[in-house]
Amino acid sequence: MRAAHLPIQRPRQAKLLVVDGRGHIRHLPRRRIVDLFRTGDLVIANDAATLPASLSGIHEPSGQVIEVRLAGRPSLTAEGIRHPIAVAFGSGDFLMRTEDRPSPPKLAKGDALRLGPLHATVEELMGHPRLVRLAFQGSAQQIWEGLARHGRPIQYSHITTPLALWDVWTPIAGPPVAFEPPSAGFALDWNLIGLLKARRIAFATVTHAAGISSTGDPELDALLPFDEPYHIPHSTALALRVARARGARVIAIGTTVVRSLEDAVDVDGMVQSGGGIATQRIGRSSRLRVVDAILSGTHEPGTSHHELLRAFVDGETLDRIDRQLGLGEYETHEFGDSVFLERMAPHRCLGKERNDERRTIGAEFATSLSHRQIQSAAASSR
Per residue in 53-75, pLDDT (tens digit) is 999 999 999 999 999 999 999 99
Residues 173 and 221 in one domain: yes
For residue 250, CA distances in Å to 26, 126, 293 come to 21, 37, 7
Residues 276 and 304 in one domain: yes
Q: Tell which of 150, 182, 200 closes a domain.
A: 150
Instruction: State the total domains in the chain.
Output: 2
Residues 246 and 139 in one domain: no
CB 275 within 8 A of CB 309: no
CA–CA dist 287, 345 (Å, integer):
10
Residues 200 and 324 in one domain: yes
The pLDDT tens digits of the residues spanning 173-214 come to 999 999 999 999 999 999 999 999 999 999 999 999 999 999
Residues 329 and 244 in one domain: yes
379 located within any domain: no
pLDDT above 50 for 40: yes
The pLDDT tens digits of the residues spanning 343-366 come to 997 644 544 444 444 333 232 222
The pLDDT tens digits of the residues spanning 92-125 come to 999 899 999 999 999 999 999 999 999 999 999 9
155 located within any domain: no
376 located within any domain: no
Residues 219 and 336 in one domain: yes
Neighbours of 318 (CB within 10 A): 20
CA–CA dist 110, 120 (Å, integer):
9
Mean pLDDT, the chain, integer: 90
Percent of the chain at pLDDT exceeding 70: 90
Residues 276 and 198 in one domain: yes
Residues 180 and 91 in one domain: no
How confident is the model at residue 346, as a pLDDT? 63
CA–CA dist 46, 170 (Å, integer):
9
The pLDDT tens digits of the residues spanning 164-178 come to 999 999 999 999 999
The pLDDT tens digits of the residues spanning 248-306 come to 999 999 999 999 999 999 999 999 999 999 999 999 999 999 999 999 999 888 899 99
Q: Is the pTM of this model over 0.85?
A: yes
Q: Given pLDDT bands bounded at 50, 70 and 90, which one contains residue 34?
A: very high
pLDDT above 50 for 162: yes
Q: Is the peptide bond before 225 cis (omega within 30 degrees of 0)?
A: yes
158 located within any domain: no
156 located within any domain: no
CATH code: domain of residue 216: 3.40.1780.10
How confident is the model at residue 1, as a pLDDT? 74
Q: Tell which of 150, 184, 202 closes a domain.
A: 150
